[in-house]
Every structure is written in C-alpha cells, then in structure tokens.
Amino acid sequence: MQTKPIKNGVIAWCAEHAANIDATMFNVDYWQANHAVIGESKGRYTTWFVQTDKRHHQQQWVLRHYWRGGLMAKFSRDAYLYRGLTTTRAYAELALLAQLHQEGFAVPNPIAAKIERFGIWYRADIIIERVANAKDLVAHLAKHLMNNTQWQQLGATIAQFHVRGVYHADLNAKNILFADNKFYLIDFDRGVIKPPQANWQQANLQRLLRSFKKEQAKLPQLQFSEVDFQQLLTGYHTINPINFTGITTN
C-alpha cells in the first residue's frame, strides 16, 4: 500500500499501474467525458464499470462511492467521522483486499482508494478491478440452476475465508460473484480479520441464507431451495468442520 497527498486528502493505491491515478478518476464524470463508462450496477446506489486506457493496462474497473445506510443516512448521506487514515472505510477495505488477494483468496484485485477530508469528516471512494465474465448469484440463479458440486464449492469457498478469520460484514447473495466456474466474494466494507469462532461464522451463514430467501421472495424464479443450502453447508464443513448449534432454515 502506498499513498500520495491530494488537495484535502489522500489517494492510496496497491496496484503498480495505479501510481499515476489522480483524484478526478474517482468521479464518474471523468469517465463519462472520456466515453469510458461501460456499465453500471444499480442497488441502493449506483456502482460504475469503466474501461481504462493503456496507462492502466486497459483494464475494466469498478468505481464505488461510500454511502451511509440505515438511520445515519438521514443525517448525512456520505460523510464519516475522520479518526485517522487507516481507520477510514476505503483505506481499510483496500488494505484487506490487498492482503487477501496476495494470499490467493477469491477476491477482486484492489486498485486504489481516495479519502477526501473536510473538517472532522471525510468522504471516500474505492476502485477495484472488475472480475471478468462475472454475475452476482442473484442474477445467475435467476436464469440457471447450480448443481450439488457447485453449491458445495461455494460452501468450501466461504469456509476458506472463515478458517482464515475473514469476517464479511454483509455476506449476501449479491456480494458473491460466479465467473468461469469459480466463486468470488466482493464488497468488504467493514470486513476484518479476527479469531475464527463458531458464533460469528454461523451468523455469517445465517445472514446468507436470509438473503437467498429475501431475493427469492422478490424473484420467484430464483433457482434456490433449502436443499441447495444444505449442499452449501456440506461443502463448507469439508473445509471448516466446526460444530454449529444449527442453521435455522425457517
């Protein structure tokens, strides 16, 4: 991880070809002016997909701004209290992704982050490399079945993160990508590495199950059943044979 000062803030980067990145490149207006926006993902807020030039290896990047959620969003949409660079959400996520990517985990390649201060507050953006040919699990399962082997593979992938002590703060079906028969976890905002324990690992899986059911309620054609989740758990326990008190499927 390296950093350089900008007006009112800092850019941090970990990809070598991102050393010449500047603050304007964290704004979608820059990419639109260069006719380089190639897609978007709309959830509560928009995430942008952009195409870089030769300076940045002609990669496809994902540009995401940090927005507040929940009750705090009523007071401020995107301002966070500044307590030091390494504790900012963008820097922390970039650093975690850099560590996991270096260790060979199935995460996107991190590129850079911008932290911009104003008084005691900051706003932030992050850029990561787009996973080629990837769809999130909701989009994939809306049109395709996954077989038992694939569900078990997904479970084993999650277990590898858990054994390492990687806590994903929002493990849901949309934060899992499927590409070229491989699963990736994305969006590590507020993610941390901590001692592996059954309580938070089980809560993580329970959250994932709830998300599948929530998405299926909105999209009845979603190819998911509790039998599929049992296959996921089978694969999970081949890597992490920890005793849970039980995953509630109701």
Tokens at residue 17, please?
């070809």
Q: Hey, is 184 helix, strand or coil?
A: strand
Radius of gyration of the chain (CA): 19
Burial label, 212 (beta-carbon count in 10 A; 0-12, 13-18, 19+): buried
Which ranges constitute the DSSP H helices of the chain? 28-33, 89-102, 137-141, 148-164, 198-218, 226-239
Q: Evaluate whether 131 touches 113 at the Cβ level (below 8 Å).
A: no
170 is catalytic: yes
Q: How many angstroms from the chain centroid is the CA of residue 237?
A: 23
Nearest alpha-carbon partner for 140 in 177, 185, 193, 86 = 177
Burial label, 152 (beta-carbon count in 10 A; 0-12, 13-18, 19+): buried
Nearest alpha-carbon partner for 132 in 25, 51, 229 = 51
Rounded Cα–Cα distance for residues 238 and 7 (Å): 50
Q: Which of 22, 53, 125, 170 is catalytic?
A: 170
Q: Which residues are catalytic?
A: 170
